[in-house]
Amino acid sequence: MQTGAPLIVISGPTGSGKTELAIALAERVRAEIVSADSQAVYRHFDLGTAKPTPEQRARVPHHLVSMVEPTEPFSVARWVSLADAAIAEITARDRRVVVVGGTGLYIRALLHGLTDTPPDPEVRRALEEEARRVGPEAMHRRLAEVDPDAAARLAVADVLRVVRALEIHATTGALPSKLRAAHGFEPARHPARIFFLEPPREDLEARIAERTRAMFARGLVAETERLVALGFRHAAPMRSVGYRQALAVVDGAMTAGEAERETFLETRRYAKRQRTWFRREPGTRFVAPPYAALWEEAASR
């Protein structure tokens, strides 16, 4: 699948300013935005996912934001299908496409396709049952024993992807990390210019701290309490950083201060993993503020 003008892909660590930059660029080059954020796709989960505000979405059309219910099964394959449809729709109107988000797996699958490892429902169910029985730490240790590289890339709490990695190993005998590394060099499905924002480390940490503080100040715990009342306690986005800590506050297992501190630390660790992921992505340009190279190259056809 090839489009005309290259996609402009803007990624970067959480808190690096991707959304603001993408909107300004989209306004300049007559583009629309396709979100590549695995949490922003869910409805109702708003504060903890840092979705673009209604004002930002009024400036530039956004696609794949608040698309599915939190309890609805969702996969990388479905996201790619939705993204392909959005890209076709946008380009049919003779507008450019800016893909923005920090979910590296979504961007890799969009540009290179999915790995040839179809799910095995029986193996998946057995692993999910084991995860419920022994807990995320034990599952992560099990993955580390068979594929240390895959385990290093995944957070202990990311049970969904840890289980998927163990499923790939169980059904194919291959190491998931090796499959994904090789997969990154498949021919592109869409021509693209990939940019990874790399602000100075001190600036990024300050932005992450401010973003975390603002999330809790704006009512993340209250939003989480409402989501639990709506029946979303066990929904996939509730396991993400921020919501997981806010849920601990709702349950009385953490104070708000402890939750905010842990959210900051987990977000900082996640930002490091995002940087590591994109250093392995062919063609990625790492750009520092004021992002002059991005503006110049992305604006050209």
Residue 220: is its pLDDT beyond 60?
A: yes
What is the pLDDT, as a whole number, of residue 119?
A: 66
Q: Is residue 105 part of a domain?
A: yes
- Asked if 213 and 149 sit in the same domain, the reply is no
pLDDT single digits (tens) 2-60: 556 899 999 999 999 999 999 999 999 999 999 999 999 999 999 999 999 999 999 99
Q: Tell me: do 295 and 195 sit in the same domain.
A: yes
Secondary structure of residue 197 in the 3-state scheme: strand
Q: Does 92 lie in the same domain as 129?
A: no
Could you give the 3-state DSSP secondary structure of residue 8? strand
Same domain (yes/no): 87, 133:
no
Instruction: Tell whether 1 is covered by a domain.
Output: no
Give the pLDDT score at 114.
Answer: 72
Position 118 scores a pLDDT of 62
CATH of the domain at 30: 3.40.50.300
Report the pLDDT value the prediction gives residue 111, as an integer from 0 to 100. Answer: 93
Decide if 172 contacts 117 (C-beta within 8 A).
yes
Domain that holds residue 131: 121-180
Q: Are residues 28 and 56 in the same domain?
A: yes
**Dist CA 42 CA 210 (whole Å):** 24
pLDDT-based confidence at residue 186 (cuts at 50, 70, 90)? low
What is the spatial distance between Cα 40 and Cα 50, in angstroms, rounded to a whole number?
8
Q: What pLDDT is attached to residue 189?
A: 87
State what percent of residues in the chain have pLDDT above 90: 71
Question: Is the residue at 263 inside a domain?
Answer: yes
- Per-residue pLDDT, 70: 96
Per-residue pLDDT, 115: 65
Cα 52 to Cα 50: distance, rounded to the nearest angstrom: 6
Q: Per DSSP, what are the bridge partners of residue 197?
A: 287
d(CA 215, CA 168): 36
Is 194 in the same domain as 90?
yes
Alpha helices in 45-158 (DSSP H): 54-59, 76-92, 104-112, 121-134, 136-146, 148-153
Question: Are 63 and 37 contacting, i.e. CB atoms less than 8 angstroms apart?
Answer: no
Q: Are residue 282 and residue 251 in the same domain, yes or no?
A: no
* Residues 92 and 55 both lie in one domain: yes
Tell me the pTM: 0.80
Same domain, 145 and 223: no
Match 């730490």 to its residue by tokens: 137
- Is there a single domain that holds both residue 193 and residue 293? yes
In the numeric block, which tokens belong to residue 239? 């396991």
Tell me if 2 is assigned to some domain. no
Q: Angle formed by the axes of helices 159-172 and 121-134, to 10°?
A: 130
Share of the chain above pLDDT 70, in %: 94
pLDDT digits (tens, 9 = 90+) for 63-102: 999 999 999 988 888 899 999 999 999 999 999 999 999 9
CB 24 within 8 A of CB 43: no
| 125 vs 223, higher pLDDT | 223
> How sure is the predictor about 123, in pLDDT bands with cuts at 50, 70 and 90?
confident
What was the pLDDT predicted at 76? 84
Q: Would you state the pLDDT for residue 10? A: 97
Indicate whether 286 and 222 sit together in one domain.
Answer: no
Using the predicted structure, report yes or no on whether residue 185 has a pLDDT greater than 80. no
Total domain count, the chain: 3
CA distance 197 to 76: 23
